[in-house]
């Protein structure tokens, strides 16, 4: 599976599960979902990356865009479950602290 994502809302929280590979080819598929979260001004977005196997700089850029845009409309973003290659890339880019992984 190249990429899979799933959004589940519960009260103020939107859970966004991203699995597979988030990269230059698949990151654009995530954009409509990000647009919707921003438009709906969701107060809290939890990004569950426990199913994410691979990320590249375009995938990181998509997550940064999600983070900045949700915060810009007053929401909170947390990233949970990152492991293996994605976790290593976040650490390399010092984003593990921002995302409070």
Partner 1 sequence: MAARPTIRLIVPGTLAHRAVAVRVVAEACRLVSAPGIERTADGAAYDLRHPFDAEFVSAFAEIYNNIAIHAYGRRTDGGEIELAIAVEPGALTVEIRDRGAPFDIGVVSSPDLDSLPEGGMGIHIARALLDEVVYEPGPPNLWRLVKRIAPSAVTTATADASA
Residues lying near partner 1 in the complex (CB under 8 A): 1-3, 20-21, 23-26, 53-54, 56-58, 60-61, 64-65, 67-68, 84-85, 88-89, 92-95, 98
Quote the least distance from Cβ 10 to partner 1, whole Å. Answer: 26
What lies within 8 Å, CB to CB, of 20 at 6+ separation is 1, 2, 3, 4, 26, 51, 52, 53, 54
Least distance from partner 1 to the Cβ atom of residue 7, Å: 16
List the structure tokens of 81. 């479950």
* Cβ proximity to partner 1, 16 vs 62, nearer residue: 62
The position carrying tokens 């992984």 is 101
């Amino acid at each position: 599976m190249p990429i899979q994502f799933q959004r589940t809302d519960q009260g103020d929280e939107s859970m966004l599960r991203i699995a597979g590979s988030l990269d230059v080819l698949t990151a654009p598929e995530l954009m409509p979902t990000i647009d919707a979260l921003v438009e709906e001004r969701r107060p809290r977005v939890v990004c569950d990356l426990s199913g994410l196997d691979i990320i590249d700089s375009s995938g990181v850029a998509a997550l940064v865009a999600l983070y900045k845009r949700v915060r810009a409309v007053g929401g909170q973003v947390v990233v949970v479950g990152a492991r293996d290659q994605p976790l290593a890339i976040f650490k390399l880019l010092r984003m593990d602290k921002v995302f409070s992984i």
